[in-house]
Amino acid sequence: MNNRILICSGGTGGHVLPAVNFGNFLINQGFECYLILDHRGKKFSKKFKGKTFVIKSSHLSGNIFFKIISIIKLILGFFQSLFILFKIKPNLSFSFGSYATFMPLAVIVICKFFFKIKLYIHEQNSVIGKVNLFFLPFTKTLFTNFNYITNLPKKYENKKIQVGLP
């Protein structure tokens, strides 16, 4: 059985540290875990016991020059994520939010046609983030820190399980 798990996280400590703690817990249980994050998150991932991949990512705010650079970074991040996914072939994936997870999650959703990858999302905040909200239709379960989540559409309430912060 494939026991490879891919964890995707954003670049802030609020996203990366729970992902690292969860990944290390799974590694201690005998799972093979990999972490994808952007360059901002690298400094928060030093204690991760598995393999870490750093990809290009960006948000799309700012002037036209910044937006062009951002689109180039996002395209690079997409292909980096695609390469990583085909290399490790996970059967489970967990996302801990942030714009940095957009391209890995897009690749996972596309590759669900080729591999059987179950996608789970963890929302650390009381307001569901834009990336988590976008990928919610493709997830099996939404794990949350809080019982009540603002902006969570009613049709996805059945996917929500409050687990707290890893």
Question: Whole-prediction pTM value?
Answer: 0.93
Task: Please give the average per-residue pLDDT across 94-123, as a whole number.
Answer: 92
The per-residue pLDDT for 2 is: 75
H or E stretch covering 53: strand 51-55
Residue 142, strand partner residues: 121, 160
pLDDT of residue 1: 54
Dihedral, 88, 91, 97, 100 alpha carbons, nearest 10 = 30
pLDDT per residue as tens digits for the range 51-85: 999 999 988 888 999 999 999 999 999 999 999 99
Q: What is the pLDDT of residues 149-162, one digit of tens each?
A: 999 999 999 999 99
